[in-house]
Structures are given as structure tokens and as C-alpha cells.
Amino acid sequence: MWKEENNQLRRSFEFKDFVEAFTFMTAVAFAAEKMGHHPNWTNVYNKVDIQLFTHEANDSVTEKDLKLSKEIDSIYKKA
């Protein structure tokens, strides 16, 4: 589940291996580009940590972040 803390939405995702994690990240990248809103994230092998916040809104959580988080959840369910 997404957690809101320090003006960010945060969630970690874990996958079977690096390829599965990278495939997920690729799908998220295309969705984010389409929305014009991009995540901050890190990847270590099979784990992807994502932080969402809006720079234009003084680095706080906005509707853009909520929409992207729902899209990311949808992508994760298909992975």
C-alpha cells in the first residue's frame, strides 16, 4: 500500500528477479511519460522503491501523484 509521509507518497515493490523489476519500471516509465508526471525511484535487483510528489506544488502530494499511484498499482497487478 502507498504511505503518505514527508509530503510524499511512497511504496516498495518486490519481484521475482531483476528482469521482472525492470519490466515493471519500463511500463511505469511509459505511463508516467504519457501523464507528464514522473516518479522518483530506486531499483536494487528485484526491489523498486517509488516516491511521488509534485515539484510545482512545493514538493507536496497532488492529484497528479494520486493518479499516477493508481496507474502504477494497475501495472503492478498485471506484472
How do strand 8-14 and strand 3-5 relate by DSSP bridges? antiparallel
Residue with the three cell numbers 497528479: 64
Catalytic member of 38, 59, 63, 73: 38
**Cβ atoms of residues 47 and 14 within 8 Å:** yes
Q: Active-site residue 73, yes or no?
A: no
Catalytic member of 55, 59, 63, 73: 55
Q: Active-site residue 65, yes or no?
A: yes
Catalytic member of 4, 20, 63, 65: 65
Burial 7-25 (b: 16+ CB within 10 A, else e): ebbbbebebeeeeebeebb
Catalytic member of 33, 59, 63, 73: 33
Q: Active-site residue 20, yes or no?
A: no
Q: Active-site residue 33, yes or no?
A: yes
Which residues are catalytic, by number?
33, 37-38, 55-56, 65
